[in-house]
A and B are shown apart, each in its own frame.
Chain A
């Protein structure tokens, strides 16, 4: 951490691709959750001739299109973890063998349980956020991508790459297609619960912690509110 004696110090944390991914991903998840829910529980039946409508078709199209954005975005995000700055790796590789890391997780927990008076300062994510994002977002995303492509491969057919790479082993792994649907559906709720907590914590930390959060994900610059150490 820099030791400049300025009242407010700023660090450039989130590079452009990370921020772009964050907001595109947020949009994709929104579309995926809404359309996904409507695939499981469709809207009321339409009357008239079948050729006059393509409602379910459009809903499924939006789901698949947003799904591809989600997948390609995540591939890009993984790529950036390799070529980007050190913060780009954080959510993929929690330093679980570091004692300091766990003591900071503990401190962060105490802060959230209103025991610690003050949180510590972090340039990137705080340690608890790293664990939270690694487990719920990174693994949640992997799970949704794998089960999602497995379900897509069923429609694409036996000779599609989606089928041979995903459906062929994921469907038997879960038992049958209906089970993959159920777990994919539950996965949506895991991601939505992640979003609820993520948004709440982002606002809370933005107000109560010692650094900026929301503006950081827009501008990329983390500004600290005080220049005390740690």
Chain B
């Protein structure tokens, strides 16, 4: 019989009490009613583990770093055994041909029934130029990705790289880095985006737990992100929100406002435009999150967050004019030109009018 999560957890020395705690915490994190804790426990006790192939493209491994730090004690010890993580070149023991053989084996054994977790994205430019980059076992990553994707039940796009493109896709994107959902010829497996640079560890584990418990994808928003974690902005649940509404802002680093923990809006905080769960779940076991540490949110779970001008500017940069501008600079510039034109036109009009009057007289 295939090992269940519960078996694995017990084997790892986790008590039933802590196991049930994990289930109720996960239910709470996913915004489910307490009744679901039992359902989760039931699923974990009875359902076989989901095989997962975890592929790495162009990325920095921060998603893996986050994932293995999933802070809940149970998750921390067990998460890697919970899912049947068959292939993850960064942290697996096997290497070389032995490692690559696992992909084949998983696809054969669980064709259409495994989850493909993508960390990072492929650089498609090499397909046009014939260049070589991101080579895994002698083949471009793109090939590995396409092959595995066509046999997968579902694809999870871990992090902003796989979801949106992230830094390697930032302008001018020399490698043609392309987020998973935009890669052509990828088959029809549904794609779940879990953006963030990296995504929150508990969010990552909860998405997998949900898929195991309910045997379906979590409910996604229009952009393919799980609604339970990406339906609110950082700003909506920020503990500094009171200072925002009051009009109390940090004006510059280390000023009085910064010491008092005022709102970081003027320091370029992207909390008001960023959908993520940092202000509720927080990081490192609920210890803190960037804003709590006194730094504005840089909006790392949003599409193209590298290309919106400085992280410390409230208004986005507009670079279409060849120089660094923002909406106000463009607007004031245009208004000045129009204002000047109006003044000149008014002056000529007045002149003409007085001339005409002179003619008539």
Contact = CB atoms under 8 A, between A and B. Distances in A.
Contacts of A182: 315-316, 318, 326-327
Contacts of B328: 37, 40-41, 185, 189
Contact of A189 (B231, B304, B335): B335
Interface string B265-306: 110001011110000000000000000000000010011110
B192 to A, nearest CB: 16
B250 interface: yes
12 contacts: A45-B249, A51-B242, A55-B246, A177-B233, A177-B272, A177-B273, A178-B270, A182-B315, A182-B316, A186-B330, A189-B334, A208-B353
Contacts, number: 135
- Indicate the size class of the contact surface on chain B: 35 or more
A188 B222 CA distance: 28
Interface in B320-342: 326-328, 330-332, 334-335, 338-339, 342
Given A57-B245, A189-B327, A176 B316 contact: no
A3 interface: no
Given A45-B262, A158-B231, A192-B335, A178 B222 contact: no
A176 B353 CA distance: 51
Given A54-B245, A185-B331, A197-B338, 18 more contacts: A40-B314, A41-B315, A45-B247, A46-B246, A50-B242, A50-B245, A56-B247, A157-B232, A176-B304, A176-B305, A177-B275, A178-B270, A178-B273, A178-B305, A188-B331, A189-B332, A193-B334, A204-B345
Interface string A171-212: 010011111011001101100110011001000100110000
A195 B244 CA distance: 31
Most chain-A CB neighbours within 10 Å: which of B266, B272, B275? B272
Contacts of B246: 46, 50-57
A204 B274 contact: no
A155 interface: yes
A2 interface: no
Name, among B305, B318, B327, B338, the residue most crowded by chain A CB atoms within 10 Å (CB to CB). B327
Contacts of A192: 331, 335
Interface in B228-248: 231-233, 236, 242-248
Contacts of A197: 338, 342
Among A55, A60, A177, A197, the most chain B Cβ lie within 10 Å of the Cβ of A177
Q: Is the interface of B mostly helix, strand, loop or mixed?
A: helix
Contacts of B352: 114
Nearest to A49: B246
Interface of B: 221-223, 227, 231-233, 236, 242-251, 256-257, 262, 265-266, 270, 272-275, 299, 302-305, 308, 314-316, 318, 326-328, 330-332, 334-335, 338-339, 342, 345-346, 348-349, 352-353
Contacts of B332: 189
A42 B302 CA distance: 24
Interface in A31-64: 37, 40-47, 50-57, 59-60
A169 interface: yes
A197 B341 CA distance: 10
Given A40-B327, A208-B349, A46 B247 contact: yes
A156 to B, nearest CB: 10
A9 B332 CA distance: 42
A15 interface: no
A154 interface: yes
Interface residues of A, number: 47
Contacts of A185: 315, 327-328, 331
Main secondary structure of the interface of A (DSSP, over half): helix
A10 interface: no
Contact of B308 (A50, A178, A186): A178
A176 B245 contact: no
Contacts of B247: 42-43, 45-46, 53-57, 59
A192 B272 CA distance: 25
B221 to A, nearest CB: 8
A16 B342 CA distance: 30
A126 interface: no
B257 A177 contact: no
A227 interface: no
A110 B314 CA distance: 44
A40 B249 CA distance: 13
A216 interface: no
A75 B128 CA distance: 51
A134 to B, nearest CB: 18
B273 A176 contact: yes
A168 interface: yes
B302 A177 contact: yes
Interface string A107-150: 00000101000000000000000000000000000000000000
